Structure 1
């Protein structure tokens, strides 16, 4: 698939909050257009993501994380095997785990994110695909003619003009996203209605129409965080937005500011991605 073909198929059908337009792309992706401009990101009081400006010529970004169904179409068309499939195992965990506990599970991969005894991806086609490495995500993006967002593109789209830590407000809302509910990972209190991943679009979108920018799965991004030393930049890939596994007592990155990272070759059941597409030169220059 080629970007040019996707953009020719792209048809705008809505304008959200007077800011972003939406349309359809290849493989059933719904795309939000982020307008060219300069955007305020970060925060003055954030230790690792200081206030800064980001200038863009504009881009298209999928309104949800890439789903199991979409990734299955990629595998069917290409025969691609993920790193976890090639190695025969991956790390996994869930309810009943200790904090920060991920265990080796033989047979865990994108088809069976929690191993042979867990739910199968084919029965959850509208859930975000997980158990893929950064390179696996990049392979999908190349196939469809897109790429991963940069950390600043992600934040621009996720904020949708918001200046608060969350796209909906300054205060966290347990009903607005899918994270871990409970004092520990021994028990999930299910306040948001989910224990593991949730179907995409289960929660209200941000002002520009993007769903799950907070929670559900961490989203791979290109580039490196300011706090990352040069010695580790080449071995790690960044992730943003937090996930179903994140909680106030463990990984608290479910906000618009924090930037996490993981080994490029690693796979986890709380790691996913969404796709960005560059605009044609004439669209970028004219804003149309």
Structure 2
């Protein structure tokens, strides 16, 4: 994460910026190779959801994935019970119905509580001027020239006062005509509030990954291993990041849900478009702990506490799926095992969610 003294945009970026991180970096993978027969749906799927049959799989990076990052390893055996899952990310239209009925105000629309914020910042961090400390969120901005250091996220992220789910690219933008786009600038608290209203919950990381894999035990992507099919299967970044997006996939930013083929479970947008919240704490030691047991973990719900040595001041949650900003040169997080961490109070223009429901 990046910080810059006395500059709130970079201060916020230090704590709130999530994005794709540079790629590099086992898996005797047996995804969906259930030791039991697949679970049958207990009832008809609710509208807009599909039944995910549950089973055993290897969570984490597959052996042939040279783009896998260290925190996607080691692969470990997991078993999840069956559940229902939204076929696509929650849309602007769906979120608007929730807001209209409840009057809910998202985190990005609320006045900023400096006393709360500074708890996540290094001791002694100076409070920004009140004119800067205003409700808003992070929006993406292309750079004018090549970026030699892709670790410096502040080069393409901007704290924008007035950016929120109704104004996804800043206060002068809106969601008119975009009812079927995924809702964004959603903090973890916002996603939980929607789930409570809808009678659902967020998926665990294991559930999300099992659903995305859909039985493809050795595949890097939900469609297989052919990277040449990326632009026809996911909304990602083509061209030089973050300078030019050639839009080979048809979109520069967010795409309407279901714009690309579904996976083998009938789920859309499990790669690219927007990142999606899971309920798990992000802990860099968690995969090692599960793998060390040499046993199949039943319905894991994540680490008991958050831990990230690269961002020690924030307690982060796991997000999955990648976004329209992911490129081969930057993070390639349209891969099934890809995972990232972000602060629960963070909302950005490429972060949304989908819901699940147990039987």
TM-score range, shorter chain: 0.7 to 0.9
Identify the residue that residue 88 of structure 2 maps to in structure 1: 64
1:239 pairs, out of 306, 319, 331, with 319
Distance 1:231 1:166, change over 3 A: closer
1:209 equivalent in alignment to 2:266 = yes
Query: What are the within-5 Å matches in structure 2 for residues 1-288 of structure 1?
Result: 25=46, 29-43=47-61, 45=63, 47-49=70-72, 50-87=74-111, 88-96=135-143, 100=153, 101-118=156-173, 120-163=174-217, 164-172=219-227, 173=229, 174-225=231-282, 227=284, 230=305, 232=307, 235-279=315-359
Quote the Cα distance in structure 2 between the aligned partners of 1:193 and 1:19.
37
Measured after TM superposition, the shift of residue 44 of structure 1 is: 5.6
More strand by share: 1
Measured after TM superposition, the shift of residue 89 of structure 1 is: 1.0
Q: Deviations over 1:170-225 (max 9, x none)?
A: 12222210011111222110100000100000000001100010000001011134
Runs (4+) of structure 1 exceeding 3 A deviation are 18-24, 43-47, 94-99, 228-234
Quote the Cα distance in structure 2 between the aligned partners of 1:67 and 1:116.
20
Distance 1:247 1:228, change over 3 A: farther
Structure with the greater relative contact order (CA < 8 A, sep ≥ 6): 1 or 2?
2
Alignment root-mean-square deviation, CA: 2.3
Measured after TM superposition, the shift of residue 48 of structure 1 is: 2.5
Normalised by the size of structure 1, how large is the TM-score?
A: 0.83
Aligned to 1:117, the other structure's residue is in SS state coil
Structure 1: runs of 5 or more not aligned: 1-17, 280-288
Measured after TM superposition, the shift of residue 117 of structure 1 is: 2.9
Structure 2: runs of 5 or more not aligned: 1-37, 112-134, 287-304, 309-313
Q: How many residues align?
A: 258
Measured after TM superposition, the shift of residue 95 of structure 1 is: 3.7
Quote the Cα distance in structure 1 between the aligned partners of 2:333 and 2:246.
20
Measured after TM superposition, the shift of residue 228 of structure 1 is: 5.4
Aligned to 1:175, the other structure's residue is in SS state helix
Distance 1:274 1:251, change over 3 A: same
**Whose radius of gyration is greater, 1 or 2?**
2
Q: Deviations over 1:81-100 (max 9, x none)?
A: 00001132111014447653
Quote the Cα distance in structure 2 between the aligned partners of 1:271 and 1:192.
19
Normalised by the size of structure 2, how large is the TM-score?
A: 0.67
